[in-house]
């Protein structure tokens, strides 16, 4: 079998997620993945194992404690390898929102009064508000607005905004509403020519394939582990050369012990250890689909990412096609996925019905979705959409199947 012929075995994938067998959820098509994903058995197993035998204070010499500490370190190390970072470039915190507030506080160190900070109006508020608040220390906030006609952030616009005073740029890798994948590598290239620090929000990108942070060249990158098949935690990557210059925001005596010093208080221990289960799940996916075992984790992740993208295109394009052709619907973002240029996060509004009405109709058909602004309220405002009623969002990941897509099409076709 050639590589091109290998398709994601979605039945195998679904067999790994107990939610598809659970009496409460098994009959539902789940389209709220951009809100938070289901977890595979491996994650639940690691969580149970930790809580059963090693739920003690870690890093002492007795076995329960020693193993707890070793597993916490292992979880961080594995995630570092999966995204091509070093272990001391990874900070695991309570959520992306917390991580970005903590980071913005630390980056004040690099700002002088009158320096520019660029934020977008396409991002989730988690990657806007912490940076906008830097005006309290004298920063000048500049907004990179997306093009209202195609909903894209354009590089030519960014170039017009950059001055010698620009120090920080916060931008999403993929919007949780528009779904387009922004060219973060090109954005970083432009920014770095101007000595600007780039913070990429990967929350809506990472569930569709873990990023290679070195290839992107980004200075900081965040994603929410509860949307990448894990527990409610957030991962923050930071380039070591910047991290080591950040102020100690933890206890005074810990001076110099980065990245531990960036985030006051560490993550939830049992949830941290359960991240090993995400790694185990991806290892299982790899060995189920591929024979050769002489690749490193990063190489395996890249091959799985390709399988996932091809599958997501297959299940999402019929829905994008349907919604973009309905005269009474307005689709936000690109009308098809090609070569990973879009996530299967599909937002739309109707001319005749409120988004709430539509989501209720879908729920009647056992389609789990919702209407909201999803905290990307600046994006909705720019598009002239009521931020209370919001958009209907259908967000898929690799465990969705073509039956889910057909179910949506049949349900939408009834009204
Ligand atoms: C694109 C995006 N960025 C950031 C966040 C915030 O993540 P968290 O809930 O981990 O704070 C979300 C949450 O939905 C999101 O969709």
Dump pLDDT digits (tens) for 379-391.
Answer: 999 999 999 999 9
Tell whether 62 and 202 lie within a shared domain: yes
Angle formed by the axes of helices 63-82 and 297-325, to 10°? 60
Tell whether 176 and 272 lie within a shared domain: yes
| Cβ neighbours of residue 96 closer than 8 Å, sequence gap 6 or more | 126, 127, 201, 203, 222, 223, 224, 234, 236
The reported pTM is 0.97
Domain finish residue from 229, 248, 277: 277
Tell whether 28 and 101 lie within a shared domain: no
- Tens-digit pLDDT profile for residues 33-54: 999 999 999 999 999 999 999 9
- Is residue 151 in a domain? yes
Query: Residue 1's pLDDT is what?
Result: 41
- Is residue 292 in a domain? no
> Ligand 1 site: residues with CB under 6 angstroms?
95-97, 124, 126-127, 172, 176, 201, 203-204, 224, 234
Tell whether 173 and 66 lie within a shared domain: yes
Domain that holds residue 343: 3-37+297-412
Tell whether 146 and 32 lie within a shared domain: no
Query: Residue 2's pLDDT is what?
Result: 47
Query: Residue 4's pLDDT is what?
Result: 58
Distances (CA, A) of 104 to 248, 305, 353, 376: 13, 31, 40, 19
Site of tokens 């209407």 = 371
164/395 Cα distance (integer angstroms): 39
Query: Residue 266's pLDDT is what?
Result: 84
Query: Residue 265's pLDDT is what?
Result: 85
Query: Residue 5's pLDDT is what?
Result: 76
272/258 Cα distance (integer angstroms): 18
Q: Say how many domains are in the chain.
A: 2
What is the number of other CB atoms lying within 10 angstroms of the CB of residue 185? Answer: 13
Query: Residue 171's pLDDT is what?
Result: 98
- Is residue 42 in a domain? no
Which of 91, 92, 124, 267 has most ligand 1 atoms within 8 Å of its beta carbon, as the pocket-test mutant? 124
Q: How many whole angstroms from 241 Cα to the centroid of ligand 1?
A: 26
Distances (CA, A) of 14 to 18, 142, 395: 8, 44, 17
CATH number at residue 73: 3.40.640.10
Which of 131, 375, 397 has most ligand 1 atoms within 8 Å of its beta carbon, as the pocket-test mutant? 375
CATH number at residue 406: 3.90.1150.10
Tell whether 59 and 156 lie within a shared domain: yes
Given the CA of residue 201, which atom of ligand 1 is nearest to it?
3
Angle formed by the axes of helices 41-53 and 269-289, to 10°? 140
Query: Can you list the residues of the chain whose pLDDT is less than 70?
Result: 1-4
Domain finish residue from 244, 277, 310: 277
Which of 37, 95, 97 has most ligand 1 atoms within 8 Å of its beta carbon, as the pocket-test mutant? 97
């Amino acid at each position: 079998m050639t590589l091109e012929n290998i398709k994601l075995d979605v039945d195998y994938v679904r067999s790994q997620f107990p939610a598809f067998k659970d009496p409460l959820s098994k009959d539902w098509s789940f389209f709220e993945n951009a809100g938070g994903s289901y977890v595979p058995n491996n994650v639940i197993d690691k969580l149970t194992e930790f809580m059963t035998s090693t739920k003690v204070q870690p890093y002492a010499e007795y076995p329960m404690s020693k193993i707890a500490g070793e597993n916490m370190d292992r979880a961080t190390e594995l995630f570092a390898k999966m995204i091509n970072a070093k272990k001391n470039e990874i900070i695991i915190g309570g959520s992306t929102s917390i991580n970005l507030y903590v980071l913005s506080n630390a980056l004040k160190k690099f700002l002088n009064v009158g320096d520019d900070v660029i934020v977008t109006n396409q991002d989730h508020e988690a990657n806007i508000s912490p940076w906008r608040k830097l005006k309290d220390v004298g920063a000048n906030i500049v907004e990179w607005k997306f093009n209202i006609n195609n909903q894209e952030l354009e590089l030519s616009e960014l170039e017009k905004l950059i001055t010698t005073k620009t120090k920080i740029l916060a931008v999403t890798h993929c919007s949780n509403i528009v779904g387009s994948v922004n060219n973060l590598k090109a954005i970083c290239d432009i920014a770095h020519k101007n000595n600007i620090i780039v913070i990429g929000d990967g929350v809506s990108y990472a569930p569709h394939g873990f990023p290679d942070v070195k290839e992107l060249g980004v200075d900081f990158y965040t994603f929410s582990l509860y949307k990448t098949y894990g527990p409610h935690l957030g991962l923050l990557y930071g380039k070591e050369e910047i991290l080591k210059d950040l102020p100690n925001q933890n206890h005074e005596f810990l001076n110099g012990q980065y990245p531990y010093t960036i985030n006051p208080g560490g993550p939830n221990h049992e949830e941290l250890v359960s991240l090993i289960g995400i790694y185990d799940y991806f290892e299982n996916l790899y060995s189920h689909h591929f024979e050769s075992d002489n690749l490193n984790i990063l190489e395996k992740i890249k091959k799985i990412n390709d399988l996932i993208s091809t599958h997501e295109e297959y299940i999402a394009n019929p829905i994008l096609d349907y919604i973009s052709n309905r005269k009474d619907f307005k689709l936000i973002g690109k009308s098809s996925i090609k070569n990973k240029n879009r996530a299967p996060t599909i937002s739309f509004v109707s001319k005749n019905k409120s988004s709430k009405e539509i989501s209720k109709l879908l729920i009647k058909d056992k389609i789990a979705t919702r209407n909201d602004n999803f905290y990307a309220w600046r994006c909705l405002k720019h598009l002239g959409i009521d931020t209370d009623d919001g958009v209907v969002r259908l967000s898929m990941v690799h465990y969705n199947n073509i039956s889910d897509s057909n179910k949506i099409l049949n349900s939408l076709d009834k009204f």
